[in-house]
Structure 1
């Protein structure tokens, strides 16, 4: 099938799994995307990405790669660099945009320069975070370079002591002022924002709420004032462009209704959002009349190793 760049893609390797903390999520995304691409007419090879990835791809000789990896190594520019070296067109963002988006602190610097609203944050040693309040409560502690709400701690306003972090947390972490309000997200597809989803949970939208059945409820499109909807969609397009993303990305926000437009905060951009048919981005695509196989097809046809 002819790609958006004019290339022809017939055999597609779907990269999934890998060694990150988000391995299981990636396997789920990869299997669903592989099935959708077969429906769309592609010859699909599923690849659990490991240290021999370059060798396996040389043997498979795909026309392109659908990158369904999540988390470190697969989403942070590392695999993208391998694919650039091998000159295999791949989906989603390139090396620089992927690396920037995964590094939350540097992404925030880019967003701030672009005039996008972000929460105050610092990078601190985990020992300092456990010894005392690095920021006034309430605040959030999280890894600087993981996704899917892996390793997130909320320190509430009434907390008498700093958090005790798990042994899996890195030596340095991000400490971020807590942004109250509704959890909202916007998918960008190329240069188009699809719509806004309101994510309803009983508590924090953590890893369990994201992936446990019944852990959250998605209201799509979100019931919001038109000015807020348009602002969120504009911010998502601007964040996508500021990082240099391509293909599909998803921007996550918090909105404090009591503060109106001033209550919107951009949390982060996901350059490779979850890709099961019920994940947030495919749900938004469906709302816009784009089926899951058609979405996966568009993503493959957008694949490149030149931009």
Structure 2
């Protein structure tokens, strides 16, 4: 008891008041710096999400009194064939909006990191331009390029391939791949810049050692560059997957989901239900499902990349121990 009392007296100080540790004081003061950002995030992100979740359980047109319908809106999302088709279109666009940009970005970053020519900085900036442009501007420009009498078909006719010239955005068979190709053109620049930044941080001595062992450019890329870029690849996939699943601007300003429903994606139906059909409850339910789908796919990608990274690290440690 004597020890406890003495300890309390020392902590409390001469006036009998408990002193706050410097760490506690710093933590409270640091919250003041992030408070504006937290307030903004709460008002414009968290609160709208909560309202959307609440609205998804109602039949609501935005004007009259909302009527509770339970899970009927979610049942409609999973039983409507057109919505299932839209989700399938989004999964197809993942190849064009995520897989292809990452692959192209890796190839360009690997090539640009080895090439030493005059004006290379300008060339890198030019490749990044699609990411800077507005999605609406990109969509309108490509709508003209891919038109029946557009420059793409004119170029095909000029080289003797006029037989394959078509209305790329108006054909049921080519509309979805054409929209996907536009997304690939937009996203590859972001991936390239991320990978170039990662390559700069790789130790140059690793490449020198590989060259002494007789490794070529392809082997250097596979053995050194690619494993070192796993964090950047993870970030690029997360950004591209999110863009692919929530994409609206490019599709709406090129095809409006057509012809028919061949390029319709969930975001198009969300817009139509909310602003054209005045079915805010169903639009909110579809938005919640789409958000959960994005979270699940992004989480699975992160887990897959983390497991590969852990397996690679363990194999390198074992190989090092064996030597």
The two structures have a TM-score, normalised by structure 1, of 0.24
More helix by share: 2
- Find the structure with the greater CA-based Rg: 2
Highest RCO, 1 vs 2 (Cα 8 Å, sep ≥ 6)? 2
